[in-house]
Structure formats: C-alpha cells, structure tokens
Structure 1
Amino acid sequence: MTDDLLKQITFIKEVDKLKYILRKTKLFNSNRNENDAEHSWHLSLMALVLAGHANQPVDLLKVIKMLLIHDIVEIDAGDTFIYDTQKSHDNTAEEREAANRIFGLLPADQASELIAVWEEFEAGQTHEAKFARAMDRLEPLLQNTSNNGGTWAEFDVRYDTVYAKKKVIQNGSDTIWQYAEQLLNENVEKGILKK
C-alpha cells in the first residue's frame, strides 16, 4: 500500500460525514430534510442533464467536480441557511479552514486541485462556476415549489429576498432563469410566496 492510497482512503472516510449534514430544504414532496450528500449528488445529475442550457459551453467534468465538493467544507463549518439573517452565506474563514483541513487529508497534488476547484466555485466567475452555482440555486427552488413554499413559508422568506438569491441562476443559464422566474411568479400567484 502506498502512502497516497492511505491518505485517499482517509479522505473518503472523512467525507462520509457529509451524509449527516442536514440542510433546511426538504426532499421533493416530503417533510424530510435533505442532507448535503444528497444535495451534491442531485446537483451533479442536474448539471449532467441540463448542461446544454448553459449560457456558454462548459467543461462538464469540472462542473460536476465543483458540485460534488462545494459543500464538503460544511463537515466542519456547518450549513449556513441561504436566507439566514444573522450569518453571512458568503465564503468565511471557517470554510477556508475546513477546506484546508479536509482536502489536506489528500496527497498534496489532489488537495491543491480540489481546493482550487472549490475556490473557483466560490468565486463564481468562470463559465463552469456560474453554471454550477445556477444548479445550486435551482434545486431548492424546485424543492420549495414542490413543498408549498417549504423553507420560504417556514422562515417567512419574502419574494424579493428569494428573487435576489435566485437571480444568480441567470449568470449560468438564461433559459433556466426564465423557467425559474416563471416558477417564482406562479408561487406568488398561488399565494405560496409572499410579496
């Protein structure tokens, strides 16, 4: 056995903890909270299926890497609810420390690569990051719609706040944003999302 293999196995065991990090959003048509591992898998599959709607051609493998690892830092830092009014959802020192610790379990070359992919997602500037972030904002919109408002209703989140957070979708896909905007408007019309 090589030292690299042992480091990789250690990392694989550590990231199993992602299955225990619960998000505020619930599964489609369900009252069970989604965990971060389910979220990451679902986003990756969404990207695979919806990549043809990206505003620009994207390296799909890189997008999937971003989506599979973007929340790994929450093993240490916890999940910050996107509509939290007390704590910023932006990249924090806690998340940076978590990234260094968790990805640092890997051999140096893999650790560097995954930290760079994570940083690229967080910065949201490349075509891949913009599309990956679009997927990350679309899934909870679909979930909340399926659950008659879900976290919007539970935490009294208003249309303007939801709209501002979801508008990021447009950076990755105009087509998907048009669909998302239509869903938001339908939720308002049904009284699910309050203006």
Structure 2
Amino acid sequence: METNKLLQQVEFIKEIDKLKYIQRRTKLLNSDRCENDAEHSWHLAMMTIVLAEHANHPIDVLKVVKMVLIHDIVEIDAGDTFIYDTAKNHDNTEEELLAARRIFGLLPASQAKEFIDIWLEFEAGVTEEAKFARSMDRFEPLLQNTSNNGGTWAEFNVSYDKVYDKKKVIERGSVSIWKFADDLLNESVHKGILKK
C-alpha cells in the first residue's frame, strides 16, 4: 500500500466531513429540522438503490450512487443555492467546478479525475445515469415538502408553476416516478399547501 496515496485519500475523507455542516433549506420528512447535504446525499443513494427499477432505461446503479453521493460535495466551497432562489441562479457551475477541482484534487490523480468526470456528467444531465440521478435529486425534496404541509414552498411563497418547472426534470429519468410526483403536486394544490 502506498503511504502517500493513503494519506491523500484520508485528507479527502476528512475534508468531506464538512458536508455535514452545509444546511439545506428543505426540512426532514415530517420535521421542522433542516437536513444537511450529507443526509441529503445518503438519502438519494438509498433512493437510487430502491427505485432503480423505475428508470426509463437500464442504468449502472453503482455509477448513479456515486453521482448522488458526490454531486453536492462542491457545496463545501460553493455553498448550497436554494433551488427557488430569486437572487442567485441555481446554475452556478463555474463556481462549483472550481470547488470540484480543489476538493477532488485532494485525492490521488486517477480518483480525482474519476470524481470530477462523474460530477461533470451529473451536471450535464445527458446520460441515463445522470438523468436518473437528477430525478432522485428533485424527487426527495418534493417528498419532504409534501410531508411538511408545503415546507419551503409555503415558507418562501413558491408557486405551483415554479415547482412544476423545477420538478418536471424527474420525467427524464423516470416516467413512472414523474407520474407519482405530478400526482403529489396536484394533491398539494388541492390541499392548499401549494398555490397555483
């Protein structure tokens, strides 16, 4: 075993512990506590394993799990941008790319390249794996907000149209999960927890 390689990997592992301190706006299911990025990533990984059979096309489940586990690591440097933020565009890829290069750059070169490539693939959203990973990323907060009487939708007065626009990407990874999600959105409007 290469000592230098192990030291680099351990430094990376210690660095990503900071992900536990990055607070998201969305609250845990049936809770008033905000989740952190590490909890979010873990939940997406489990969702991927459980829901993979609903992907529109066959996917490499391990690759999707890697994507959802690393996609928000860049927020250690770049911060979490609220998806419905009106002041800052959620598409802050350049800032996040700098973060990816720094954080993944702590790893040995071959691992750093693999992680950056997977992160870029997720961001591009073109492959079947990236489409499904992005579906999971949009589906989880929908489940949280519907369990919390509108959650961040109500707190930040987010309209149905804005939510629908952001959640529609679910369909690219899974038509069946999108149908379920769309039904939840309509039910939320009917219950008055999402304003049309």
Q: Which residue of 2 aligns with 1:117?
A: 118
Q: What are the ranges of 5 or more consecutive residues in structure 2 without an aligned counterpart?
A: none
Q: What is the SS of the residue equivalent to 2:24? A: strand
Q: What is the SS of the residue equivalent to 1:43? A: helix
Residues in 2 aligned to 1:169 and 1:107: alpha-carbon distance in whole angstroms = 34
Structure 1 residues 34-53: aligned runs within 5 Å: 34-53=35-54
Residues in 2 aligned to 1:193 and 1:166: alpha-carbon distance in whole angstroms = 14
CA offset digits 1:40-80 (Å, max 9, x no partner) = 00000000000000000000000000000000000000000
- Residue 133 of structure 1 pairs with residue 99 of structure 2: no
Residues in 1 aligned to 2:182 and 2:108: alpha-carbon distance in whole angstroms = 43
Q: Which residue of 2 aligns with 1:153?
A: 154
Read off the aligned partner of 1:170 and give its amino acid letter.
E
Q: Identity rate of aligned residues, in percent? A: 73
Q: What are the ranges of 5 or more consecutive residues in structure 1 without an aligned counterpart?
A: none
- Offset, 1:92: 2.6
Read off the aligned partner of 1:79 and give its amino acid letter.
D
Residues in 2 aligned to 1:126 and 1:55: alpha-carbon distance in whole angstroms = 12
Residues in 1 aligned to 2:99 and 2:88: alpha-carbon distance in whole angstroms = 17
TM-score (norm 2): 0.99
Q: Which residue of 1 aligns with 2:180?
A: 179
CA offset digits 1:138-186 (Å, max 9, x no partner) = 0000000000000000000000000000000000000000000000000
CA offset digits 1:112-155 (Å, max 9, x no partner) = 00000000000000000000000000000000000000000000
Are the equivalent residues in 2 in contact too, given 1:91–1:122 (CA < 8 A)? Answer: no
Structure 1 stretches (4+) deviating beyond 6 angstroms?
none
- Offset, 1:90: 1.2
Residues in 2 aligned to 1:59 and 1:103: alpha-carbon distance in whole angstroms = 22
TM-score (norm 1): 0.99
Residues in 1 aligned to 2:113 and 2:93: alpha-carbon distance in whole angstroms = 19
